[in-house]
Amino acid sequence: MGVAHQRRLAGAPLKRPALVPLPSAVSTPRASAWSRLRVAVSGVCVLSTFACDAPTASRPKPAFAPTTLTGGVLYRWESGTTIRVWVVNSPPSAAPLDLGLATRQAIERWNAVAAFREFTLKSATRIDEAQIIIYDGVAALPVSVGTCGFNPRGAAGYTYFCPGTAAVGAIPRAEILPLSQDGPGLTTVVIRLDRGRVSNQSSYNAIVAHEFGHALGIGAHSDLPTDVMFGLPTAETPSERDRATLRWLLGQHPALVL
Ligand SMILES: [Zn+2]
C-alpha cells in the first residue's frame, strides 16, 4: 500500500498511517514558508539481519530524533555506498541561481560527516548511473515517480523516494524511479528545488544542503536555526548537532534501504 502525506511546519497534526511520510524543508522568506519532504513506506518489517560494518563505540548520541517525520521508520543507504548524484541542467531562468554550485558544496560538507565512509557522495558522469537526481522545477521532472504521490507544490525543497518491492535481506529497498529518458537508471531519490521561492544563492545552498540531509537518512527537522536540518534552513554547513544525528543513524539498523 502506499500513502502519501504532507505536513505543515507550523504544526498541523501528523497522521500516521502504516506508511512513512517525510517532510522537507524550505527556506522561503516569501511565499508559504514551509517545505516538505515526502516519503511513503509500504510497510515496516522486523529486521533480523543487516550487515553493520561500522564501529559503534565512537558514535555520538543524536541531537534530535531522526525519524520524527517518518513515524519512526529509519532509512538510509547501505553502509559503504558510493552515492552518485546527477544535477539536471536548468534552462535559463530569471533567478540566477547555481544548482551545481549548491550541490557540490552540499556533497563536500556532508561527505565530511561520514567518519567511517558509511557513504560517499560523488558527482555522476551520466544520469543513468545516478542514485540521486537533483533538479530545479524550471526543468522537467527527470523520472517517473510511480504511485507514492509526488507533490512538491508549495515547497522550495522537496526530497522524494518510494518503497519498492525489492529488498536487501529482509529490509525493503526504495524503488528505482525510471528515468523519463535514457533508460531505467539507478535512481531511488529525487530532490527538487523551486528557485522561484528562493531569494538568493545562499538560501539556495542552505535548502540544497538540507535536502541532502533528508536524502542521507535524516527524516526529521531540528528546532534550532543553526542546524541545516532546521525546518526553514539558513545554515549551509552541517552543525555538530546535524553531524551527531547523522552519524548516530548511520550505525543503526534501517527499516528501509535507499
Ligand atoms: Zn526538510
DSSP structure string for 107-170:
HHHHHTT-TT-SEEEEE-SSGGG-SEEEEETTSPP-B--TTS----TT-SEEEEE-EEEEEETT
pLDDT at 40: 34
Residue 75 CA to residue 12 CA, distance in Å, equals: 24
Cα 101 to middle of ligand 1, angstroms = 20
Q: 178 is in which domain, residue-wise?
A: 38-257
Rounded Cα distance, 248 and 59, in Å: 6
- Residue 66 included in any domain: yes
215 Cα to the center of ligand 1, angstroms = 10
Distance 37 CA to ligand 1 centre (A): 6
Cα–ligand 1 centroid distance for 6 (angstroms): 11
Q: How remote is the CA of residue 123 from the centroid of ligand 1, in Å?
A: 22
Task: Identify whether 7 is part of a domain.
Answer: no
Residues, CB within 5 angstroms of ligand 1 (ion): 24-25, 37
pLDDT at 101: 96
pLDDT at 96: 86
Q: How far is the CA of 27 from the centre of ligand 1 (A)?
A: 10
Where are any strands of DSSP class E within the chain? 38-39, 75-76, 81-87, 119-123, 132-136, 157-161, 163-168, 171-174, 189-193, 256-257
- 182 C-alpha vs ligand 1 centroid, how far in Å? 29
CA of 33 to the centre of ligand 1 (A): 12
Residue 249 C-alpha to ligand 1 middle, in angstroms? 17
CA of 98 to the centre of ligand 1 (A): 20
25 CA → ligand 1 middle, Å = 3
Say if 252 falls within a structural domain: yes
CATH assignment at residue 42: 3.40.390.10
172 lies in some domain: yes
Instruction: Please tell me the distance from the alpha carbon of residue 49 to that of residue 64, in angstroms, as a whole number.
Output: 26
What does pLDDT average to in each consecutive run of 10 residues of the chain (258 residues)? 31 34 40 34 31 55 94 95 96 83 98 93 96 95 86 92 86 93 90 94 98 97 97 97 97 95
Residue 108 inside a domain? The answer is: yes
For ligand 1, the distance from its centroid to the CA atom of residue 221, given in whole angstroms, is: 6
Tell me how many domains the chain contains. Answer: 1
pLDDT at site 94: 63
* 114 CA → ligand 1 middle, Å: 20
How large is the angle between the packed helices 201-216 and 240-249, nearest 10 degrees?
20
pLDDT reported for residue 115: 84
Q: How far is the CA of 7 from the centre of ligand 1 (A)?
A: 10
Is residue 12 one of the residues assigned to a domain? no
Helix axis angle for 99-111 and 201-216, nearest 10°, is: 50
How far is the centre of ligand 1, averaged over its atoms, from the C-alpha of 38 (Å)? 9
Between CA 152 and CA 104 the distance in angstroms is 23
Alpha carbon of 213 to ligand 1 centroid (Å): 8
| Sheet order of strands, 75-76 included | 75-76, 256-257, 171-174, 163-168
The alpha carbon of 135 and the centre of ligand 1 are apart by a number of angstroms equal to 16
DSSP structural state of residue 195: G
- Between the CA of 192 and the centroid of ligand 1 the distance, in Å, is 12
Whether residue 251 lies inside any domain: the answer is yes
Q: What is the pLDDT of residue 31?
A: 31
CB of 49 within 8 A of CB of 73?
no
Is the pTM higher than 0.85? The answer reads no
Question: What is the C-alpha separation between 15 and 6, in angstroms, rounded?
Answer: 9
**C-alpha span between 111 and 122 (Å, rounded):** 9
- Characterize the bridge pairing of strands 163-168 and 171-174: antiparallel
Rounded to an integer, what distance in angstroms lies between the CA atom of residue 119 and that of residue 130? 14
169 within domain boundaries: yes
